Structure 1
C-alpha cells in the first residue's frame, strides 16, 4: 500500500497520542508519525526512557511538530506553568492513545496500572480509548504472562492489534513483529469510525423521533486468527501453457483486508494475481491447487476462521510435459485427474470452535447446490454467486451473493462493491446467527 495522501484514511483534526517504548521496532514510529500527519491528524509523542535508546526524541519531535514528552515531572520552564499535570490535560485532549511499539514490560505496566512515566501516567488519566501494538521476540509474545496481560487489556476495553508474523530481530521467525505503520493507521481510522458510530447511535436513541440512517459497526476480530484463500490456480500443461480461470482474487483480498481492519491476525494464501497485499496481512503465494492445498492444510489447526474464496481448479493435467508441446495436425487430447478438495479436507479435520466459510460459483440450481455443499463439506457458511449475473463473478469490482448458514438462515446481498460484501459477510459470521428464515431465495 502506498503512503501517498490519496491512499491514506482521512484523520483530519483527529488528536492522536502516540506512545513509543523501548523496542528495536521503535524505528518504525518515525514512519507512523509521518503517515498520521499526512492523514491530517495532530500527533503528540510520548516516549519511555528505553525508547530513546532506539530513536531520538528530536526525530519524532521534528516529524510531529510537537515537543516529545517523557517525564511525569518535567524540568525547566514547563514545570512552572503546570507541566506536572500535563498527563491529565493530554488524557482529556486525545481521541485515541496508541502505544506502538508496545514492549512486554509496558504491556505489563498498562495491564496492572503502574505509573512511572509520562506514557503510563497518561494512560491512567486518559478518557479516550487505548490501542496497543505489541512488539517483542516470539517466545516473549507467546509467554503465558504476556498473553494474560493482553487478555486483561482486552477485558478492560482496550484495543489489542495482534503482533505480525515474520522474521524477528533475534533471527527467529514467528509472531512478534510490530504491525506495519500503514496497517496501524488503517486500524486507527477504523476504530475512530466505530467510536463515531457509537456516539451517533447514542444520540439517535436519545432522540428517537429523528430518522437518521446509521450503519451497524463492524464486529471485532481482536485476537482471532483468520485464513483466507483468494485468486485462481494455474495447472501446467507444459512450461508455457496452463489450465486456469479468470479470477482476479479481488473478493478474497477484500475479505482479508476487512478481517485485518477488525484486528485479526490474517494469513492470505493467494494464487497468481497482480493485487497488492492488504495492510497488516501475511501473504503466502502459490500457483497450483496442490500448493494451495499444502499451504492451507499446514495452517488449519492454528486458525479460528477459514474463508475459502479462491477459485480452485477441480482438475489438473495428469502428465504435464516438461517441454513445450509442438503444434501438430489434429486435436490435442489431455488426460486430467482430480485435484485435492481443499475445503472438504478442512471440513473433515475441522477444529473445535473453528468456523469454515466456503464460496460456491453456480450457474444452475444455485441454492440447492450451495446447501448440499454445506452438508457435504461440513461448512458453517457458504457464499453463493452466479457468474452469469451482470456485475457479479470474475473480474468485477462488485458482487451479488446469497449467504447460507448451516442452520437454514439465508440472506440475499444486493449488488454492491466487493469491499461492502466482505463487510457484510464478516458481520454475519462474527454475529449470532439469526433465526432460520424458512425462505428459499
Structure 2
C-alpha cells in the first residue's frame, strides 16, 4: 500500500518516526511529506533514511514529477501526524501553500489526522469548527490523547501513541477496501432490549445502538446484503438494510434465529437483557403509602449467542458468528480475563469486548475494543470512532469467512 505520511510542525514530530517504522515494517511504501516547520524538529535525513524516499516540503522540488498532483492521486492512504492546529485550519479551508496541503487537496483515498497541540488550542472554537468541517467531509480526525504536554501542563492535546494511530489507519484502510463481503448475507443485531414490568415501566439498559448501526453500515459498504434486527436505538437504521424491529429479548431471539438460517454471518452487537420480569402486570403497579414495596422476581433470558453457535454446529453451516461483550472488571478478574472466559463458553468465532462504565462505551461516538478470536490469535486492539471499530470488525469477519 502506498502511504503518504504528512508531518506537522510540532514537538511530537519525533513520534512520527516511530509511526513510519510501523508502516514500513508492515510492508507499506511510505513517502514522508513534512511541513517546513516540521523539518525544524526532525530533519529530512531522518525521514529519507527511514522511508527510502527523498523528502521535500515544497512544490518546487522535482518539478518534472509534478509531485503536488501525483502524490495525492497515487496514495492509498494519507496520515498526518502530528496535525497541528494550524495544519488542521489550512486543510479545512482548502489552502495549498506547501506540498503537504497540495497533496491533501489532491487526495482520492482515505485521510487520517492525528492532532497534537496544547489543550487550549484543541478546545478553541476555531479548532473545533475546523475538525467538525473536516469530519463532515469524510476525513477521519482522531481524538488527541490526554496527558503531559510540552511544558508543565497536561490535558487533552497529546499525540496518540504511534501504535494507536497505526491501528486506526489499519481500520480506515480496511473500510476503504471494496466488496469484502460481496454476495454475502450478514445479520446484525443492535440496540438495547426492553423487558416490560407493567404497561408503563420496563427493565432496560443504556445501549444507544450506535455501534450496531455502524456495523450494519460497514457491512453494507463491504458489499453485503444486511439484515438489521433492531431493539431500542437512539439512532436511525442506515438506508439499504432490511430492518426487523423488536422490543424484548425473546422477540430478538426469535427474529435473529430465523434470520440466521440463511445468513453467512451473524454479528450480535445488541445489548440483550440477561433477565426479564417473571410476571408482567396487566395494570400499572401503584405506589401506595399503605402497601409494601413491590418485589419483582426475575427470570433468566435465553443465551441467544450460544443458541446461534449450537444451531450452526448442529446443521454444519459455514457461518461466521461474532459476539459482543460489554464488560467491567472486579476484584476477581479484569476485562480481558472475563472476555476470554466468555469466548470459550460461547464458542463464537470472534468476540469484541469493550470496558463499559458511566463514561465509557454506551452512547458515545468513540469506542475502545479488543477483538478476540477462537483461533487463538493475539487480541486485536482497535481505538477510534464507532465507524472505525465497525470497519475493523467487518474486515476481520471477512477474513474469518474466507478461511471457512
What stretches of structure 1 move > 4 A for 4+ residues in a row? 195-198
TM-score, normalised relative to structure 1 = 0.48
Greater RCO structure (CA 8 Å; 6+ sep): 2
Q: Which residue of 2 aligns with 1:108?
A: none
Q: Which residue of 2 aligns with 1:317?
A: 277
The two structures, once aligned, show a CA RMSD in angstroms of: 2.4
CA distance in 2, matches of 1:354, 1:389: 35
SS of aligned partner of 1:422? helix
The one of 337, 341, 344 equivalent to 2:303 is 341
The one of 392, 401, 411 equivalent to 2:369 is 401
- CA offset at residue 349 of structure 1? 0.7
SS of aligned partner of 1:383? strand
Does 2:386 match 1:418?
yes
Does 2:239 match 1:270?
no
- CA offset at residue 263 of structure 1? 1.0
SS of aligned partner of 2:261? helix
Q: Which residue of 2 aligns with 1:241?
A: 201
SS of aligned partner of 1:410? coil
Does the 8 Å contact 1:226/1:259 carry over to 2? yes
CA distance in 2, matches of 1:299, 1:412: 28
CA distance in 2, matches of 1:384, 1:229: 16
Does 2:192 match 1:232?
yes
CA distance in 2, matches of 1:384, 1:272: 21
Does 2:320 match 1:355?
yes
CA distance in 2, matches of 1:404, 1:273: 26
Q: Which moved more, 1:368-377 or 1:219-228?
A: 368-377
- CA offset at residue 431 of structure 1? 2.3
- CA offset at residue 283 of structure 1? 0.6
SS of aligned partner of 2:323? strand
Q: Which residue of 1 aligns with 2:243?
A: 283
Does the 8 Å contact 1:402/1:410 carry over to 2? no
Q: How many residue pairs were aligned?
A: 225
Once the two structures are superposed, what CA deviation does each residue of 1:22-50 show, in whole Å capped at 9, x if it has no partner? xxxxxxxxxxxxxxxxxxxxxxxxxxxxx
TM-score, normalised relative to structure 2 = 0.53
> How do 1:61-210 residues align onto structure 2 when only pairs under 5 Å count?
none
Q: Which residue of 1 aligns with 2:138?
A: none
Does the 8 Å contact 1:230/1:268 carry over to 2? yes
- CA offset at residue 196 of structure 1? 5.4
SS of aligned partner of 2:379? strand
SS of aligned partner of 1:298? helix
Does the 8 Å contact 1:260/1:279 carry over to 2? no
- CA offset at residue 353 of structure 1? 1.4
Once the two structures are superposed, what CA deviation does each residue of 1:54-87 show, in whole Å capped at 9, x if it has no partner? xxxxxxxxxxxxxxxxxxxxxxxxxxxxxxxxxx
Q: Which residue of 2 aligns with 1:251?
A: 211
CA distance in 2, matches of 1:320, 1:312: 18
